[in-house]
Amino acid sequence: MLRFLNALPLFWAILAIPAAVMLVTFARDPVTAFDLVHPSGEFSVRMMILAMMVSPLRAIFGRRRWLDWWLARRRSLGVAAFGYGMLHLVFYLYDMGDWGQIAEEALIFSIWTGYVALLIFAAMALTSNAASQRALRRNWKRLQRLVYPAALLIALHWIYVDGEWQDMAMHLVPLLVLEVARLIIMFNKRSGRTGQQLAPR
Amino acid sequence: MKFSQAMMAVAAATAMQFAASPSAEATGKMKCEAGPQSSWKSRNDLEAKLKKDGWKVKKSKVDGGCYEVYGVTPEGQNVEAYFHPVTMEKLLVAQRGKIIFKK
């Protein structure tokens, strides 16, 4: 029973619940696309944050069982972030309903930042499998690290579309704090090592 | 090292974007000093007027003492627009955070 509850497919099903609710809402009344643009984007960010949190937490707490559990689900969270990003795009496109206007808006800073972030998510999601990992070797990790510029683009996308920064900060500042803590730990470790090397024998 | 340089470049580009476009370009919420709500025109009146003028209204609400309308202009642009609740004057129109009209 516990093994069933801990299985990945069940985890995927849980991640898909908000999407299911949104899709049902949309199917019942397509006019709601306008109201679904924001929540679908927010869920994309939340999935991204949950995926990104694992590394700094490991740097801070070291290897822990709960972090191993989380790490084993990082790929699912990342792919879910892309899924919600696509849903966000679909609701946006439906709400716009005019290709000319969609093209016009694509040139606005607040909008193209979103497109670029989604492109990065797409590249990451499409290579989120063992075969791509083997084929890309060292480049695979480089590609996945594009999540950092993507997160920055998303923060800008959010601020500029909303015209205010509070909602964005509420989501992304905790992650930023973790990343800063991780950088401090990395820096301390590195300077500790060079200190030893420089010490006279 | 190369990666951290790339991140620095992104950070610099971001800083430049902020410097180049003053924060005023993000809508920044509009404020209206329009007195007591009892003297306001109704939101329905505003919506009706906008529809007559060729707008499509998706949603409207009170924000910062103004009426805020999400909709489509007669030119077809998807915007967030602010109106004075007494005079119904158009105060600010932003297209995805980019200000395209300001009184």
- Give the pLDDT score at A4: 83
Q: Residue B35 domain-assigned?
A: yes
Q: Which residues of A touch B22 (CB under 8 A)?
A: none
Q: Residue B9 domain-assigned?
A: no
Q: Which residues of B touch A163 (CB under 8 A)?
A: 26-29, 80, 94, 97
Q: What is the ipTM score, two decimals?
A: 0.79
Look at B7 and A149 and tell me if their CB atoms are within 8 Å.
Answer: yes
Look at B77 and A163 and tell me if their CB atoms are within 8 Å.
Answer: no
Q: Residue B88 domain-assigned?
A: yes
Q: Residue B39 domain-assigned?
A: yes
- Give the pLDDT score at B25: 42
Q: Residue B67 domain-assigned?
A: yes
Q: Residue B12 domain-assigned?
A: no
Alpha-carbon gap: B26 to the closest alpha carbon of chain A (Å):
5
Predicted TM-score (pTM) of this structure: 0.85
pLDDT digits (tens, 9 = 90+) for A129-138: 999 999 999 9
Tally of domains within chain B:
1
Separation CA B45–CA B87 (nearest Å): 11
Residue A99: closest CA among chain B residues belongs to which residue? B76
Q: Residue B19 domain-assigned?
A: no
Domain membership of residue B70 as a residue range: 24-102
Lowest model confidence (mean pLDDT) among A32-46, B2-16, B46-60: B2-16
The arrangement of strands across the sheet holding B56-63 comes to B56-63, B66-72, B78-83, B90-95, B98-102
Residue B84 scores a pLDDT above 50: yes
Residue A47 scores a pLDDT above 70: yes
Look at B21 and A109 and tell me if their CB atoms are within 8 Å.
Answer: yes
Is the model more confident about B30 or about A195?
B30
Q: Residue B13 domain-assigned?
A: no
